[in-house]
Amino acid sequence: MGTLIVGASVAGVRTAQALRMMGYADAITLLGEEPHLPYDKPPLSKEMLDEDGAPVPLLTEVELAGLGLDLRLGTRAAGLDTARRQVRTEAGEVLDYGDLVIATGVKPRVLPNSRQLEGVHTLRTHDDAVAVRGAMGLTRHLVVIGGGFIGSEVAAAARRRGLTVEIVEPQQIPMAHLFGPEVAVELAQLHELNDVVVHAGVGVADLLGSDHVTAVRLTDGRALDTDLVVVGIGAVPATDWLEGSGLPVEDGVLCDEGLRVVGAEHVFAAGDVARWPCSFADSPVRIEHWTNANEHGALVAASILGEEAPRAQPPYVWSDQYGHRIQIVGTPRAGRPAVVAGSVADGTLVALFADDEHRTVGAVVLDDARTFMRARRAVGARTPVGQVDLGLAAATDSVTGRAASQTQTTRRNH
Amino acid sequence: MGVSRTMERRFACATEELAPGTSMTVPGDPDIALFRNEAGDFFATEDNCTHEDWSLGTDSDLDDEEVTCPLHMARFDIRTGKPLCFPATIALKTFEVEVDGDGRVFVLG
């Protein structure tokens, strides 16, 4: 009966690829909600917002054809019956499966109590990106709600196109919940240096306008005039179709270390939607990183085939903003900054995060791929932070310290 | 119609110039990454990551015989060029390495 994969984005497609690479010869059916051929997600908030931006295919049509999939685009799953091993589609079709992979990802969170107004966008899909890209060509000012990765990248893309940009961020410092204030304040300088105003420590009270948005009213009473708003305030797992299925859904589908859904037979989950005991976290986590979706594809395929799981890699994510690249490995928020060297003004920044036992649990690096890879090794090995050799010439005073200067020459690859 | 190229013997470095566990780029057409594993053996592959443009010889993480690209964490076996994980699905081309009697290292590409 083969494998049915619900979700044709990174995790779903990588699962199909991995199954075939491992010699799986049975039928694979891949359901995609959107009408588009599988495309890559990271470019949506980056180069795809440029005037001439185009979607980046996840694989070539030749590669796709080589997988021999029953690819069903524009097909949304609406229900699951694990006893009968059947998925029901929104169109009423019933699909049998031998093994099922849930890879439906996440959907963007929307502002609570906000009315549907034109000019207000979220960014998650191809069509979202096309809409934002088009809207950027019709206006001169953008308000971004949320100073996270998506919001920051959209702000950078808008600046590239000559728009003026304001960001509204409820925290006192954007990203402080992930990196702590010291590192977050550094990274926030990227906005400042690029003339993006960050309204921090303030929320959104309402969106003004009758059909089309005209302003964003803040909780402190101010109103920011604009006819374009992008909301980037996180995402929630796309699990509504699993309601009544009996699967354990608790902010994601709960899985074991092999991505087998807990308490279910022949049901697996992969990517953003899966909550599982990652070996780099103390309790089950849901990770919305692109690399995680890639790794899950290989892991879930190994589980389906009863093969040995691929070696776990430390969680990794990157963000491209204003021509800079921020690379993050591990879980910085599980620790505190123990080593901070360089600064945005210096051109490179390195921060190592250590837990209470002084083990390296995360790192944030700006524009220094080589140092980043050393930090990644330390995170992978949980190296005591005092023993990490970042290869920086200037000694850093661990625990409290910030290097006086970073004299090592870092070679730029690009 | 492609013009056939004759194999070129390119000087890379003296043996002692490339420490075990490190790599370098040998410029040319194409650029070649020269790696040295922990045992001191040399291996050469095409320099550019097959997933997205990045020089693996210049900036990567070499863990004995496994190289990781710092852009998206694609990993390859430097002995065979084979991709070891997503996002890489295409192997790196490999090249022969020659060490002459004077300890000079050449790549043949």
Which ipTM did the prediction report? 0.91
Answer yes or no: are the C-beta atoms of B103 and B14 closer than 8 Å. Answer: yes
Which residue of chain A is at minimal alpha-carbon distance from B22? A370
Tell me how far apart the alpha carbons of residues A245 and A97 are, in angstroms, rounded to a whole number: 15
Answer yes or no: are the C-beta atoms of A151 and A122 closer than 8 Å. Answer: no
Chain B contact for A411 (CB, 8 A cutoff) = yes
- Measured in Å, how far apart are chain A's first and last C-alpha atoms? 48
Chain B contact for A45 (CB, 8 A cutoff) = no
Chain B contact for A313 (CB, 8 A cutoff) = yes
Determine whether the interchain pair B61/A376 forms a contact, defined as Cβ–Cβ distance below 8 Å: yes
Q: What is the CA radius of gyration of chain B?
A: 13
Answer yes or no: are the C-beta atoms of A292 and A314 closer than 8 Å. Answer: no
Mean pLDDT across chain B: 94
- Give the model's pLDDT for residue B7: 76
Cα A109 to chain centroid distance, Å, stands at 13
Residue A118 CB coordination number (10 Å): 13
Which residue of chain B is at minimal alpha-carbon distance from A296? B86
Which residue of chain B is at minimal alpha-carbon distance from A20? B89
Hey, what domains does chain A have and what are their CATH numbers?
3-107+235-305 (3.50.50.60), 110-231 (3.50.50.60), 323-387 (3.30.390.30)
- Measured in Å, how far apart are chain B's first and last C-alpha atoms? 20
Which residue of chain A is at minimal alpha-carbon distance from B88? A294
Q: Domain ranges for chain B, please list them.
A: 9-108
Residue A194 CB coordination number (10 Å): 16
- Give the model's pLDDT for residue B3: 53
Q: How far is B71 from chain A (nearest CA, A)?
A: 8
- Give the model's pLDDT for residue A393: 59
Chain B contact for A294 (CB, 8 A cutoff) = yes
Residues 6+ apart with CB under 8 A from A372: A327, A329, A350, A363, A365, B70
- Give the model's pLDDT for residue B61: 96
- Backbone phi, then psi, for A121, in 5-degree steps? -125, 150
Q: Which of B52, B55, B85, B90 to mutate to test the interface with A (most CBs of A within 10 A)?
A: B85
Chain B contact for A295 (CB, 8 A cutoff) = yes
Residue A130's SS3 state is helix
Q: Of A315, A364, A312, A316, which Cα lies nearest the Cα of A336?
A: A364
Q: Where does residue A99 rank: exposed (0-12), middle (13-18), buried (19+ CB within 10 A)? A: buried
Determine whether the interchain pair A17/B61 forms a contact, defined as Cβ–Cβ distance below 8 Å: no
Tell me how far apart the alpha carbons of residues A99 and A304 are, in angstroms, rounded to a whole number: 7
- Give the model's pLDDT for residue A414: 41
* Closest Cβ opposite residue B59 in set A63, A295, A411: A411
Chain B contact for A20 (CB, 8 A cutoff) = no
- Written as six digits, the tokens of A100 are 């099922």
Q: Where does residue A157 rank: exposed (0-12), middle (13-18), buried (19+ CB within 10 A)? A: buried
Helix (H) or strand (E) holding A171: none
Q: How far is A339 from chain B (nearest CA, A)?
A: 21
Q: What is the mean pLDDT of residues B36-46?
A: 98
Q: Of A10, A16, A77, which Cα lies nearest the Cα of A39?
A: A10
Query: Which residues of chain B neighbour A297 with C-beta distances below 8 Å?
Result: 86
Determine whether the interchain pair A294/B87 forms a contact, defined as Cβ–Cβ distance below 8 Å: yes
Determine whether the interchain pair A298/B86 forms a contact, defined as Cβ–Cβ distance below 8 Å: yes
Calculate the alpha carbon distances from B103 to A368, B32, B37 in Å: 33, 19, 16
Residue B77's SS3 state is strand
Residue with tokens 């013997």: B9
Calculate the alpha carbon distances from A170 to A34, A149, A152, A159, B60 in Å: 32, 15, 14, 22, 38
Q: How far is B59 from chain A (nearest CA, A)?
A: 6
The residue ranges of chain A whose pLDDT is under 50 are 394-414
- Give the model's pLDDT for residue B6: 65
Determine whether the interchain pair A369/B55 forms a contact, defined as Cβ–Cβ distance below 8 Å: no
Residues 6+ apart with CB under 8 A from A67: A16, A17, A20, A28
Query: Which residues of chain A neighbour B63 with C-beta distances below 8 Å?
Result: 377
Query: Which residues of chain A neighbour B89 with C-beta distances below 8 Å?
Result: 17, 21, 59, 63
Tell me how far apart the alpha carbons of residues B107 and B109 are, in angstroms, rounded to a whole number: 6
Chain B contact for A308 (CB, 8 A cutoff) = no
Chain B contact for A18 (CB, 8 A cutoff) = yes
Determine whether the interchain pair B70/A294 forms a contact, defined as Cβ–Cβ distance below 8 Å: no
Which residue of chain B is at minimal alpha-carbon distance from A319? B71
Tell me how far apart the alpha carbons of residues B83 and B73 are, in angstroms, rounded to a whole number: 11
Q: Which of B73, B75, B82, B90 to mutate to test the interface with A (most CBs of A within 10 A)?
A: B73
Fold of B9-108: Rieske Iron-sulfur Protein (2.102.10)
Chain A contact for B90 (CB, 8 A cutoff) = no
Q: Of A259, A215, A209, which Cα lies nearest the Cα of A100?
A: A259
